[in-house]
Structure 1
Amino acid sequence: TVSVLYWIAMDCTWPLAFAIPGRKSLAWQSLVQSGEESKGRAAEGATELYELRRRISDFFAAKDPGSQPQRSFVDDVAKPYAQLVKAATLHFDCSHLGTGKGKAHTTSIEFTDAWTYDERKTSAAIVEVAWVLHNIAASLSIIGSQSVASGTADGLKAAFQTFQEAAGYIKLLREAVMPAMPTGEQVGMFLPESIEFCESLLLANAAHAFTLRAALQEGAKPSLLAKLYRDVGDAYQRLGGASNMHGPKARAFLAVQA
């Protein structure tokens, strides 16, 4: 087994993987048309929703394997989309999407599961909310890892805050979205254990960044630093054990070899 403390000494953190969307993840055009029928803010919101979803699809379609998300993608595209898609599920009664009940809008949500690599397809609109929240957290975790790599006090402080923010989005997914998700959709990346693992990983990354920053401070007590490093190492060791429940994808997050 690879020592987790070795990886901490290498100043590594482990970002989440993306759930890559299909080009036709949601047929929001029908919502745009419905919004136009009701005029006013509903039409504007539906049009904005459709445009943001197109930009997200374009981002992943054009993204090179080595490219990384920027903060502007998170703040200007992904976050507004998450807010609008949540509002749309209420305003347009998307709970009936694809079920044949009531005045529904046909949709097909397609994406690659971040944990299993399986191609997923569903008509449950709540999955789109869950998917975008996960990808916001994944984007933030990558940005946080980039800040850690700077090795500066300011960069490590930013990394700590960014990992905390990412964990907050996974917590939002766990507390506000998962209770409304059909049990049949709670597989792969949306298993309760998978979501708990992601949240714990991000919090461990935040503690890791905090510890690395503390080590840069003048007058830092060796005994305190030793405790901080030990606590972070213990957190990663626990995650290494938990990752065995989720297969090679989760183990790859931690670079732990069984």
Structure 2
Amino acid sequence: MQVTFALSNLTGRGKTWALGLKLHNPNVFESLEFLRSRLKETFEPPRAEFRARSALLRLKQDKCGVHAYAQHLRYIKSSVTENPVDEHTLINAFIYGLVDGSVKTYMFREDFHTLEKVIAYAEQEKFILRQSKANSSNYRPKRRQETGGPEPMDLCYIESENSRSLSHKRTARCHCCQKIGHYAHDCSVPSTASRRKTGRDDRLWPRKGPRCGSDVLSLNRGSKSDRQTTARVSWGGAHC
């Protein structure tokens, strides 16, 4: 039953190889240990335990968490079966692989005898350090990255901004009518510029003085400077 259950869980090349052998001889796998040894001989790379042992001694935490680092160490430890690594070597490899900080400093101060106890203490110290940072007054959480989707609204901030703008608007003074309580763009009194737009343009049609033909009659009157000024006006009016 154990051999049948193990063969049903095989996938890929291992399953094809096992079914091919069983097709020629139905009783080729006498026991589960025999099946395991044949699988190791066929598919396990050469010097696999030596590679796993060297990877265990070179393992570093880097940017992963303490839990993920401990799980990786457990996986490599399970790969070494013939000559298992002793507990003291595993403890030293785990502590040296931690990121430099308060957790690693605390681990060097204590004396541990098993790997699981070291992992439990490391996870506990990391949790205490995270909680102390979150409860401190000077702690500022990391800025949330923009994901492009909808973001939660801070209604208290919106209400405070609205009340601030209303209080500032009560003391504001309009530049058109010089009254308090509104701005110039909300003023109902028409401005000087809008009143000028409704009339004629001052540059084309002067408000006072003779135009066109009557300007020519005034050339012989007044002083020389007045004649020159009137001549310019009449010349400009000739084009209209």
- Is the shorter-chain TM-score for this pair beyond 0.5, marking a shared fold? no
| Bigger-Rg structure (1/2) | 2
Q: TM-score range by the shorter chain?
A: under 0.3
Higher helix share: 1
The TM-score normalised by the length of structure 1 is: 0.24
Higher RCO by CA contacts (8 Å cutoff, separation 6 or greater):
1
